[in-house]
Amino acid sequence: MTIHEADEIRTAVRDHYAGLALTASSCCGPAASSLDPFGQGQYDEADRALIPEEALVASLGCGNPTMLAELAPGDVVLDLGSGGGIDVLLSARRVAPGGRAYGLDMTPEMLALAEANKTRSGVENVEFLLGSIEAIPLPDNSVDVIISNCVVNLSADKDAVFREAFRVLKPGGRLAISDIVLARALPAELTGVMALWTGCIAGALTQDDCVERMRAAGFTDASIEPTNVFGRSELEGLAADLKPEDIPAGLVVEDAISQLDGVIRSAFIRGTKPTAAGGS
């Protein structure tokens, strides 16, 4: 990928989510869909009761990373691509007393929404940061747990994301994220469709590639646990949201759906930073 292509993706993602922050709508359609293909239904009633309705409406993720993170009082937790703040606010309550939750997002409009949700929630042990998940504005060895919700797939430089996550984690710290992964690589004609980048699909890694990149960054115990596999009905719902101008000339949508049946899945992704060099 060229620098120009990476910049184009970053700009498109930022613009897309800035617009969603202003309308407080959902990135990929599940908020208005009974299919819930991206797994937002993993927030139970107890979670929903703890956060403002505005944070729920603006939830743009593909799962509930706070469910797998096993947070404890006193932990410092960082949410990569925190959006409207739902996972930061839930995490902040779980790490109290004594803990702190950071949310990092590159979109000022999302940070404004998150700050408003923080005020509504009354949660104090929270700080939202403006910045890139490829260059996290926190010191080395400063975080116990990193979470993220359907964001790593949006990055044009996943290796940088995993390296930065590894850097800021304390020895023994854990990466516990929800994201989209693929059973096999997408057809070439789909990987350049910008609407599929901003829609959380075209930038997704294959399961094997994701594990390899995490290990290359230094993580041990790297694992992928699929939580929801996209079948034909889910794919047809996503395709219905595409605008005619989003579909490349010559692409037959029905054929693409047949090719992708069972390929796309939401998943829990885990890894650990060793406690010492060469340790586990």
DSSP one-letter code for 149: B
Average pLDDT for the chain:
82
Q: What is the pLDDT of residues 197-246, one digit of tens each?
A: 767 788 899 999 999 999 999 999 999 999 889 888 888 887 887 788 77
* Six token digits for residue 221: 């115990």
Closest CA to 271 of 182, 189, 152: 152
Residue 92 near residue 125, CB atoms below 8 Å:
yes
pLDDT tier for residue 51 given thresholds of 50, 70 and 90: low
Query: Would you state the pLDDT for residue 111?
Result: 93
What is the set of domains in the chain, with CATH numbers?
A: 3-272 (3.40.50.150)
Is the model's pLDDT at 31 over the cut of 60? no
Query: Would you state the pLDDT for residue 280?
Result: 41
Q: What is the pLDDT of residues 184-193, one digit of tens each?
A: 998 887 877 7
Report the C-alpha gap between 105 and 111 in whole angstroms.
7
Q: What is the pLDDT of residues 259-269, one digit of tens each?
A: 889 999 989 99
pTM above the 0.85 mark? no
